[in-house]
Amino acid sequence: MSYTGRFAPTPTGPLHTGSLIAAVASYCDARAAGGKWLLRMEDIDPPREMPGAADLILRQLHAYGLEWDGEVLFQHQRTEAYLAALEQLQEQGDVFWCCCSRTDLARLGTTAYPGTCRPFTSPRDDAAIRLRVPDRVIRFNDRLFGPQAENLQNSIGDVVLRRRDGLFAYQLAVVVDDAFQNITDVVRGADLLDNTARQIFLQEKLGLATPRYLHLPLMLHADGTKLSKQTFAPALPLPAEPVLLWQTLMFLGQKIPADLQHATPDRILHWAIRNWTPGDIPRQHGMSSLPA
Ligand SMILES: [Zn+2]
């Protein structure tokens, strides 16, 4: 069975200890399966990006021993592929143009977009492109969280694929690129668990394969918020502090020996790949030992 995994950071800032969870888990899961581990820079939202962050992320991964296969895929170079996918969906009659403003949507008082603009099936100016979602339950089996079921029409409604400002939505880019990179296994944070059903539906519409999914527990601040760049999680230090790899593996429920705490990244990862046990990953989110 061939395996291709990936890590797909957003260059809005450097990697932090929380992002190391997805990096290490996706890396170990791929390497333990004898598979490839690809890197994709999800740089489709320039206003949110930090100059130099993409380079810094590559240096961080390298310093922590997380070596990727092949060339890095940069989403800012993938415009034609995203446009082609939108064109296919338009030809199939699966998308429409939505001019609803934020205020319009807020006034509806519902989190699920109710399909107001569905009649607008040809391009309009200053409009978002939405994917019409069905009134049926989408099911998948997460390797950690088990069977999942979601009726997109009830939960979020029609999914934005291209924003009003012309930027491509994450949902479109991630689906097109997971297929382009032949990803068989997506290993990522549980904050994206509820994005998966919409991605699977989009895969169906584009005639693309659905990968296996493994969502990971999140590292939280003491106040329960997710450790993220937005909540000022500290950057992964350079030069590398390998003990952070050791702590990440502990967080992932792996029974790594204490005497590896001060080993090199290569030795820690070598142990982690040989002993990788996804069944030991806890389902509950954990607290960061770092100051918030
Ligand atoms: Zn609308």
Where a domain ends, among 171, 192, 212?
A: 171
Burial class (CB in 10 A: 0-12, 13-18, 19+), 3: middle
Q: How many angstroms separate the alpha carbon of residue 117 from the centre of ligand 1? A: 4
DSSP string, 160-219: EEE-TTSPBPHHHHHHHHHHHTT--EEEEEGGGGGGHHHHHHHHHHHT-PPPEEEEEPPE
- Same domain, residue pair 17 and 99: no
Give me ligand 1 centre to Cα 99, in Å: 5
Residue 90 lies in a domain: yes
Q: Looking at the structure, tell me whether residues 73 and 86 fall in a common domain.
A: no
Ligand 1 geometric centre to CA of 129 (Å): 9
User: Are residue 138 and residue 25 in the same domain, yes or no?
Assistant: no
Residues 183 and 47 grouped into a single domain: yes
Write the pLDDT tens digit of every residue in 148-174. Answer: 999 999 999 999 999 999 999 999 999
Please tell me which residue, 256 or 228, carries the higher pLDDT value: 256
Q: Which helix (H) or strand (E) holds 74?
A: strand 73-74
Co-location of 282 and 201 in the same domain: yes
Greater confidence (193 vs 286) lies with 193
Query: Which pLDDT does position 286 carry in this prediction?
Result: 78
280 and 266 co-located in one domain: yes
- Ligand 1 centroid from CA 21, angstroms: 37
- Per-residue pLDDT band for 291 (boundaries 50, 70, 90) equals very low
Residue type, 176: V
Distance 215 CA to ligand 1 centre (A): 31
Angle at 234 (CA atoms; ends 195, 221), nearest 5 degrees: 60
Q: Give the distance (Å) from ligand 1 centre to CA of residue 133.
A: 14
Interacting residues of 241 by C-beta distance below 8 A, sequence separation 6+: none
Q: What is the pTM of this model?
A: 0.94
**Are 249 and 261 in contact, with CB atoms under 8 Å apart?**
no
Q: Check whether residue 165 and residue 222 sit in a common domain.
A: no
Q: Check pLDDT > 70 for residue 278.
A: yes
Q: What is the pLDDT of residue 106?
A: 84
Count of domains for the chain: 2
Q: What is the pLDDT of residue 292?
A: 34
User: What CATH number is given to the structural domain containing 125?
Assistant: 3.40.50.620
Q: What is the mean pLDDT of residues 195-215?
A: 98
Task: Characterize the bridge pairing of strands 159-162 and 185-189.
Answer: unpaired
pLDDT tens digits along 10-52: 999 999 988 999 999 999 999 999 999 999 999 999 999 999 9
- CA 100–ligand 1 middle distance (angstroms): 4
As a whole number, mean pLDDT of residues 258-266 equals: 96
Q: Does residue 225 register a pLDDT over 80?
A: no
pLDDT tens per residue, range 240-253: 999 999 999 999 99
Largest CA distance in the chain: 64
97 CA distance to ligand 1 middle (Å): 7
For residue range 76-117, list pLDDT tens digits in order.
999 999 999 999 999 999 999 999 988 888 887 778 999 999
Instruction: Examine the fold and report which residue of 171, 188, 218 is the final residue of a domain before the chain moves on.
Output: 171
Tally of CB atoms within 10 A around 67: 13
CA 115 / ligand 1 centre spacing (Å): 7
Q: What is the pLDDT of residue 87?
A: 98
Domain that includes residue 138, residue range: 79-171
Shared domain check, 261 and 189? yes
Give residue 154 CA to ligand 1 midpoint distance, Å: 16
Domain boundary among the residues 171, 194, 213 is at 171
Q: Are residues 182 and 265 in the same domain?
A: yes
Average pLDDT, the chain: 94
